[in-house]
Structure 1
Amino acid sequence: MDFIENIQNSGRLAIDLVLYLMLPITVVMGGLMKVIENKRILAWLSVKLSAVTHTFGASGLSVIASTKMLFVSSVAPFPTLAKIDLMEQDQRKLAASMALVLTLTQGNISFPMIAYGVNIWVLLASSIIGGVLASAFTYYVLMRNQSAYANGTEAIEEGPKVKKTIVQSLSDGGMEGMKIAINMIPMLIITIFILTILKDLHVIDVLTKWLEPIFSSLGLPGAAVLPIITKYIAGGTAYLGVIIDQVEQGTLTARDLNIIVGLASNPVDLVGLALFSAIGPRIGKIFRYALMGALFGLLVRAVIHIVWFI
């Protein structure tokens, strides 16, 4: 086991993934989303759909947060979720909105996998269905005995917005997308390196042997264990790198990939949970309910993918 060589290989793989696969997508999608946001289209949608979101317990602003999650990245909804933390008086809606967002797939993970056979329409549909059910389950079941309103919480009005041209919005959104992609490089290098060490120490082989019967019952090969373990330990970016590498090596098929994304393409992992729970003080207090609701929604998503692709 060559320690320095493993570090260098991890760095090369991480930079290749970020610069040639993720960066173009985050820049373009970030720019487009910024244009839509600055033109108040998302705000208009959130108002128009507030009656719909109310039926399954979520805030109207959750439409904006969900759109950013689905089409940009897991980091993109943070400002909107922080705004919901400040403006949404109903704690039940706050928890339901968070459960909705936690159930969705991330755009920076899902869109690069289209080139490897992922059915993006099924992935988006399962995300929305699972998210809506997670929100309703959180609002009507998990939070039913909780007080709707937190003491001392008042709605906060937004300040005036500076109007920007489409070109300025594209530039701002593109820069945000670039920052998201570049900021992933250090953690991606570290996680890929850790996974390489675990493989060299045969830890992954042992886990694969233990979990292979479970995965076989789902119609998945033993090779599917590594990307799913990677996802829940190291996060979505490392998971993307591992799963693409396995598809290119031929150890996973497009069918396997479409089942796996139903199980693992979401922000619920060790890194994601730490970040989401710290967005705002009120979110931190209701986060356990949101997480339980999200786990219900993720189970629904997994069943949809297993039934559809087996």
Structure 2
Amino acid sequence: MEFITNIESSGRLAIDLVLYLMLPITVVMGGLMKVLENKGLLAWLSVKLSKVTHSFGASGIGVIASIKILFVSSVAPFPALIKVDAMEPDQRKVAATIALVMTMTQGNISFPLIAYGLNIWVLLFSSLVGGIIASAFTYYVLMRDVSPSANSIDVVEKGPAVKKTIVQSLSDGGMEGMKIAIGMLPMLIITIFILTILKDLNVIAFLTDLLAPAFQAIGLPGAAVLPIITKYVAGGTAYLGVIIDQAQHGTLSPRDLNIIAGLASNPLDLVGLALFSAIGPRIGKVFRYAILGALLGLLVRAVIHLVWFY
């Protein structure tokens, strides 16, 4: 009976998180991003910033992909990245753009945590700084021996072929946001259930005791072990569920939450690696360089949060 009880409690917690926390945010942010996209504002922004992005190696469309991951979710930039894979002839820019995006925080993970004390401005700042460093390092250092294509162009996203009203755009974007939130539900239920079982088997307690000294050395409590391990093994959705549960029970302070965000609010986990590497064949060929660049960017982000909130 305890097995069934754990399933039921995991389902209730996951549904509460999705329906009352994630869904409103993904619907609203998805709708707003779709309006900006359909009105051509994102394309305009990518053109205006293309010279800036070129200076640190990313494609102009990387601006659009970055905005979408920062304010919607880790899967929102995929259509833009598919265009980079298909249209960008310079492999160095392809790798740098992927490194840039994979260093960013995800909107569907970061915005719900504002209610628990997350400083979203520091998080966005660290994402931008870390992303730029990751992109530049990938382009100028990791891929320095790869000759840029003679036909290299700065890819920008075109406006939509069919004009839509603001209401239609809000509806389309809201539906996309709803799909993102609902799509998170099965994995969230399974992850919360597995973590409940691991707690009952004292696996979590063992890992906490093992890693707590290292975490305490940087000013984090032993309770930070669980969300960080969860993040890199099970992905951002599972991380969100765990960290909210801990924040609600008072085992993590706002300061702890902000430091952890610098270490864990990014798509560079086992789930993210599988998804990003499969976007396109050309991205797959340079993906190892993008990962190394993103790791440097994430290290920079972690240091920013440790210094800012220590």
Asked if the contact 1:105–1:127 (Cα under 8 Å) also holds between the matched residues in 2, the reply is: yes
Measured in 1, the distance between the counterparts of 2:248 and 2:218 equals 22
Corresponding residue SS for 2:97: helix
1: distance between equivalents of 2:232 and 2:111? Answer: 20
What is aligned with 1:223? 223
- Structure 1 segments unaligned to the other structure (5+ residues): none
Q: What amino acid sits opposite 1:41 in the alignment?
A: L
User: In the alignment, what sits opposite 2:104?
Assistant: 104
SS in 2 for 1:164: coil
> Does structure 1 residue 166 correspond to structure 2 residue 166?
yes
Q: CA RMSD in A?
A: 1.8
The answer for the alignment partner of 1:6 in structure 2 is 6
Match of 2:299 in 1: 299
CA contact (8 A) 1:86 1:156 kept: no
Task: Report the number of matched residues.
Answer: 308
Match in the other structure for 1:268: 268
Post-superposition offset of 1:156: 11
Scaled by the length of structure 2, what TM-score is found? 0.96
Distance across 2 between alignment mates of 1:212 and 1:68: 35
Secondary structure of the residue that 1:105 maps to in structure 2? coil
CA distance in structure 2 between the aligned counterparts of 1:159 and 1:76, rounded to whole angstroms: 17
Task: Work out whether residues 53 and 59 of structure 2, in 8 Å CA contact, stay in contact via their aligned partners in 1.
Answer: yes
Per the TM alignment, residue 146 of structure 1 is displaced from its structure 2 partner at its CA by 2.0
- Judging changes above 3 Å, is the alpha-carbon distance between structure 1 residues 18 and 150 closer, same or farther for their aligned structure 2 residues? farther
Matched, 1:181 2:201: no
Q: 1 CA distance for matches of 2:235 and 2:84?
A: 25
Say if 1:70 and 1:105, in contact at 8 Å, map to a contact too: yes
SS of residue paired to 2:184: helix
TM-score by length of 1: 0.96
Q: Which amino acid aligns with 2:251?
A: T
Q: Could you say which residue in structure 2 is the equivalent of 1:82?
A: 82
- Residues in 2 aligned to 1:266 and 1:150: alpha-carbon distance in whole angstroms: 33
Identity of aligned residues (%): 79
Alpha carbons of structure 1 residues 301 and 160: separation in structure 2 relative to 1, 3 Å: closer
Contact 2:43 2:156 in 1 (8 A): no
CA apart distance, 1:159? 9.1
Q: Deviations over 1:38-63 (max 9, x none)?
A: 01001011011000000000000000
Structure 2: stretches of 5+ with no match in the other structure: none
The CA distance in 2 between the partners of 1:246 and 1:141, in whole Å, is 40
**Are the counterparts in 2 of residues 87 and 156 from structure 1 also a CA contact under 8 Å?**
no
Structure 1 letter corresponding to 2:299: L
